């Protein structure tokens, strides 16, 4: 699935490594915040074009900025500029969940997709 594939691999065919997995993790984080499959309404070829040209899904309104920063950071083009999993885990642990829980209390209806 192109949507989870590191764009550098798609463009240059370089060997997949930890940085590729980190990119994929960022896509999964975005998917968690949105509740839907990334680029769900376009073809695989269109996804590949968008991803290799640097286009990413936009952050979902209400997503904690600290979480957006984590997945945006792992989407960087240069593999050497991507954080390692330890930094990601530390960043996740620092997210203030109190505001998230308070926001959920104000939601009247949950919709399962």
pLDDT tens per residue across span 5-49: 777 777 776 666 677 788 889 999 999 999 999 999 999 899 889
- Give me the pLDDT at residue 110, please: 47
Confidence of residue 109 (pLDDT cuts 50, 70, 90): very low
Q: Which of 80, 31, 79 shows the shortest CA–CA distance to 57?
A: 31
Percent of all residues in the chain with a pLDDT value above 70, rounded to a whole number: 81
CB 15 within 8 A of CB 41: no
- Supply the pTM of this predicted model: 0.77
- Work out the percent of the chain whose per-residue pLDDT is above 90: 33
SS3 per residue for 66-87 = HHHHHHHHCCCCCHHHCCCHHH
How far does Cα 17 stand from its chain's mean position?
17
For the domain 2-105, what is the CATH superfamily, name and number? Transferase(Phosphotransferase) domain 1 (1.10.510.10)
What is the rounded distance in angstroms from the CA atom of residue 48 to the CA atom of residue 12?
A: 13
Q: Is the pLDDT of residue 104 over 80?
A: no
């Amino acid at each position: 699935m192109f949507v989870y594939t590191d764009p550098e691999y798609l463009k240059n065919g370089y060997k997949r490594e930890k940085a590729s997995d980190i990119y994929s993790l960022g896509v999964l984080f975005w998917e968690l915040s949105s509740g839907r499959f990334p680029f769900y309404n376009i073809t695989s070829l269109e996804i590949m074009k968008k991803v290799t040209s640097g286009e990413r899904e936009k952050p979902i309104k209400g997503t904690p900025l600290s979480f957006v920063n984590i997945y945006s950071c792992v989407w960087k083009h240069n593999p050497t500029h991507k954080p390692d999993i330890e930094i990601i885990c530390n960043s996740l642990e620092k997210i203030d969940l109190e505001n998230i829980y308070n926001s959920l209390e104000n939601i009247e209806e949950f919709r399962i997709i």
